[in-house]
Amino acid sequence: MEIIFLRKNKVKLILLLVLLCGSSSACKTKTEKNSLNNYSLDTNQSRIKQEFPIKKSAEQWKKVLTEQQYYVLREQGTERAFTGKYDGHKEKGIYYCAGCGQKLFSSKHKFDSGSGWPSYYQPVEKDLVGKTTDNSLGMIRTEVHCSKCGGHLGHIFPDGPKPTGLRYCINSISLTFKQEK
């Protein structure tokens, strides 16, 4: 009975968000419309049209990724909040793409957002992480992906700390970590 109740409420919430966000411009915040320290949320790029340096078939990716990694990195899935190994992770070092090994985020830019996913206010270098518009689930969000292999990392939101004001909300499963020596 509880499951049915939760499903109905989730559907109602999604429908409400769709109604409230009838047009993309109505849902974009001021931060999304304007550039913010070279880490703008604004993007009109389509993931489908993008070309990435690393090209593999689904079968090739399935050979090198776990089932969960494949779901998140290649199918744009999301791990459940507060379940990822890097959410409360405090070690100093660098976070890399679990798909191709590209350097992505530094522990120096990590902060506790309370969201249940590891959060960073910027990548190590802005060109290492690509952005695309994500219109799924009746919401308009900015998806972030590895610029080398196109692997889905998470989403970016305009509610992070200074200096960027952004929160890169990243799935732990899409990352690997190497500790600083």
Instruction: Report residues of the chain scoring pLDDT below 70.
Output: 1-50
Which secondary structure element, helix H or strand E, spans residue 64, and what is its range?
helix 58-64
Question: What is the domain-level CATH number for residue 76?
Answer: 2.170.150.20
Total domains in the fold of the chain = 1
Burial of 171 (0-12, 13-18, 19+ CB in 10 A): buried
Q: Decide if 141 is inside a domain.
A: yes
Instruction: Report the pLDDT value the prediction gives residue 49, as an integer from 0 to 100.
Output: 52
Contacts of residue 57, defined as CB under 8 A and 6 or more positions apart, other chains included, come to none
- Out of 97, 100, 146, 169, which one is annotated catalytic? 169
Q: Decide if 15 is inside a domain.
A: no
* Residue count of the chain: 181
Q: Decide if 10 is inside a domain.
A: no
Q: Which domain holds residue 41?
A: 29-179
Q: How far apart are CA 106 and CA 103, in angstroms?
A: 9
pTM: 0.74
Full strand arrangement of the beta sheet holding 167-170: 110-111, 119-120, 167-170, 152-157, 141-146, 129-134
pLDDT digits 0-9 by tens, 30-81: 333 333 333 444 444 444 456 788 889 999 999 999 999 999 999 999 999 9
- State yes or no: is 149 an active-site residue: no
Mean pLDDT of the chain: 80
